[in-house]
Structure 1
């Protein structure tokens, strides 16, 4: 089967503020997510799950995240609070990628997190392949236990990222990429 690397060579993130309707329809989203969960998974632990934020739910989520921010940092500026409140409103669909860590497994937690991270990356690649835009964001909310509770996460779960999905509303130029020569070396004994 011939393979073309152009997908990997051209993929880039589209800022969430530049993502609008339409999001993938239900059938396309199902197909995208089915493909995205085909990741390396040492021990077959399935150390990930997905939470959809869409419609009114993502608006309420943003408001509650801002409330948590204000409670934890009462001196936070109104502009920063507004940014937190609006963060999830731009793209029509946000998928929270969650790592489910099994501390009793022989598989190191870092491998479990990396498996969940590849799910997020696959969503980015799949969205691009289907003609959609996507951006993987974290921010403080991804690491906050009150936000984790808001999402209904168990103690062994954590947010890997919020993948914002939609249709690019403008052309987004690619950013400068590192030179492979600066990154690749050869080990010699």
Structure 2
């Protein structure tokens, strides 16, 4: 039974926002220095790993994923690789107003997407509500970095931590190879992820 949805927090893991801000800047600078070829090759490699996942990704599985923006790892081909296996794919829809749990809608190909808030591509289908994650088996989560304890470094708005708290699913942080590190600063609201997925190493189980 997956247990990634429950945060594991101790006092020694809590650090200030300043440390996170510094690490975000470091990871963002590395990504900005990558060539287009490196990003495209990484995206292709990530898609290939779908066919050798350590857990079932088949016709009766529902997955939550995301569409990368800017230098984030991944591509639409990643979503299509899931769809090729008849996996039901949900994508996030950012709600209006202040950061809150994400809404979700089904992905049904590139033609079903449109640009919405923050310049993000989002699905145009029926909104399923934040509780749609209750029926999800695997969540692929964007991250700037992840450590071997399962601490994920996001962009700081907290949409995913609000969305994933209490969800019973396998959580997979999708990062570049050098973004899987030994340790990252952690706060009580951070939701632990159980896996990392990188272009060169594939699926890596975290402690």
Q: Same fold (TM over 0.5)?
A: no
Q: Higher relative contact order by CA 8 Å / sep ≥ 6: 1 or 2?
A: 1
Higher helix fraction: Structure 1 or Structure 2? 1
Compute the TM-score of the two structures, normalised by the length of structure 1. Answer: 0.29
Compute the TM-score of the two structures, normalised by the length of structure 2. Answer: 0.27
Higher CA-based Rg: 1
